[in-house]
Amino acid sequence: MKRTWTIIGVDDVPASFKWYQALLGLPATVPGHRDFGQILDADGTVLLCLHQWGAHEHPTLTRRDHATPGNGLLLFFRVDDLAESLLRARALVAALEVEPRVNPNTGTTEFALRDPDGYYVMVSAA
C-alpha cells in the first residue's frame, strides 16, 4: 500500500489542527509540534498534514504571500457520516461555499467550505 501525505501551509498549526478534527469528528488531540501536525484517522491513517508557513525552510512553504493558499488544490474528504459532518461544518463557518448537493459525476452528496487559511474543502458522502 502506498499513500500520499498532503501537507498544507497554515498560519496557526494548533488552531487549524483543532478545526480539522472538529470538521471530521475526530477526538481532540494536540499536534506533535507547534509548527507541524498530522490529522489522523482512528486507525492511524494520515489524512492531512499541517505545516507552519516558514518553518523548516521548505521551498514551497516559505511564506504565505508567495502563493495563494489553495490555488490549484482541492482538499476532498469522503466521510461515512455526511449529515453529522454538515452539522459540524455549519458550526465552524459562517456560510458554506457550496450547500449540500448531489454531484452529477459521482452521484454522491457533497458540500464545500473554506478552512481558516482559505483552503477549499469538499466533504462528500463515502
Residue 105 pairs with which residues in a beta bridge?
none
Helical segments of 1-126, H only: 13-24, 82-92
| Predicted confidence (pLDDT) per residue in 8-61, tens digit | 989 999 999 999 999 999 999 999 999 999 999 999 999 999 998 877 776 666
Which pLDDT tens digit goes with each residue over 78-126?
999 999 999 999 999 999 999 999 999 889 999 999 999 999 999 999 9
pTM, entire model: 0.86
- At the second CATH level, the architecture of 7-125 is Roll (3.10)
Domain boundaries, the chain: 7-125
Closest to 9 measured CA to CA, from 39, 43, 36: 36
Band (pLDDT 50/70/90 cuts) for residue 4 is: confident
**Which pLDDT does position 24 carry in this prediction?**
97
Distance CA 125, CA 18 (A): 22
Give me the pLDDT at residue 30, please: 94
